[in-house]
Amino acid sequence: MARSQRDSKLETRTARLKLKVGQRYFTKIGEGLALGFRRTGEGYGNWQARMMLASGRYGFRALGRADDFMEANGETVLSFFQAQQKAREAATAIVAGEEPEPALPVTVADATTRYLAWYAENRKALRETTATIAAHILPTFDERALASLTTAELKAWHQKLAVKSARVRTGIGAKQRYRAKPENDNQKRARKSTANRILTVLKAILNKAFEDELAASDTAWRRVRPFENADEPVTRFLTEAECKRLINASRADLRALVKGALFTGARYSELTGLTVAHVNVDT
C-alpha cells in the first residue's frame, strides 16, 4: 500500500478553510498522480485526482467533497488521506483497463489547471497570474464548458470588469474591500486597461485549450476585442488660464523655471542643466 503524503495546506480542514475560494491546489501523491483541492463559492471544498494518461495528457476525476463542514464517510465526503486513497484506486483501475480513461478537461476550470501547469514551466509571474484567475475568471466561468461559451457573454463580462470598482488588497480570510467606482476619464481608462489585462489572461487559457484540442473552435473569444487606447493615459494640455495660475502659485524663485517648462516642454533635469552655450539666438 502506497504511503500517504503530507501537505500542510490541505491536510486539515482548518488549513483548507484559509485557502482562496476558486483557486486550485495540487499536491503530488505518486508518479504522474496528484490530488487536487478547490474551495467553492459556498465555502466547502472538493477533491479531484489529476493523472497523466497514456496519451501524455492530463486526465481529471472528481473524487468527492472535502470534510470541511461534514464528517468524512469515506465515500462522498472525504478526508485528505481518504481522498489520496480514492485517487490511487481510480488511477490503478484506469491503468488496469477496468475503468475508462477520464474525459479530457472541457471546462474553464480544467483548462485553467492545464494552463497554469504549463505556465509554471514556461513563464514568470505565476503568483500574479494565479491571483488574477482566482479573483476575476474562475468566480464567473469556473465549471462552464468551453463549448458553451458565447461571444456575447464574454463581451459582457469584459465590459463589466471595466466599470467595476478596483479591489483593495486584503488579508487572508478578511472581507474583500473595493475602491470607489471610477469617475474621471483617467480612472475609467485605468479600469479599461485592467479589464484588458484580465481578458488577455482568459484568452491565453482558452487559446491553450484550443491548441490542445480541448475546444472545437476559438471563435467565441477570438471575436472579443480589448478596449482601444486604454493603455495610454489621456493627454491633457493646460489652458492659458491654468498656466497663469500655476505660475502665480509657484514660489518666486521657481517661477522662471516653471515658465521655461511651459514654453519649452523640457523636463526639470533638462532645464536645470542648461548653459549659455545651449542657447541659439538665431532660431
pLDDT in tens, the chain (283 residues): 467 889 999 999 999 999 887 777 899 999 889 999 988 777 889 998 888 877 777 777 889 999 999 999 999 999 999 999 999 998 888 877 766 666 555 789 889 988 999 999 998 889 999 999 998 999 999 888 898 899 999 999 999 999 887 777 766 666 767 677 777 878 888 899 999 999 999 999 999 998 987 887 899 999 999 999 887 666 778 899 999 999 999 999 999 999 999 998 889 898 988 888 888 877 6
Q: Decide the pairing of beta strands 77-78 and 167-168.
A: unpaired
Task: Read off the C-alpha cell for 254.
Answer: 521657481
* Residues 145, 107 contacting (CB under 8 angstroms): yes
**Alpha carbons 228 and 60: distance in angstroms, whole number:** 39
The residue ranges of every structural domain in the chain are 13-95, 108-222, 240-278
The CB-side HSE value for 245 (13 A sphere, CA atoms) comes to 5
pLDDT of residue 237: 84
What is the predicted pLDDT for the residue at 172? 61
Query: What is the secondary structure of 66-111 as a DSSP string?
Result: ETTSS---SSSEE-HHHHHHHHHHHHHHHHTTSSPPPPPP-BHHHH
Helix, strand, coil percentages in the chain from 3-state DSSP, rounded to 5: 45, 15, 40
What is the predicted pLDDT for the residue at 12?
Answer: 94
pTM, whole model, 2 decimals? 0.52
Does 13-95 carry CATH code 3.30.56.10? no
Q: How many helices (H) and strands (E) does the chain have?
A: 11, 7
pLDDT at position 283 is: 67
Question: In the prediction, which pLDDT does 93 show?
Answer: 85
> Which residues are CB-contacts of 68 (< 8 A; sequence separation ≥ 6)?
13, 16, 17, 43, 44, 45
Q: What is the pLDDT of residue 174?
A: 63
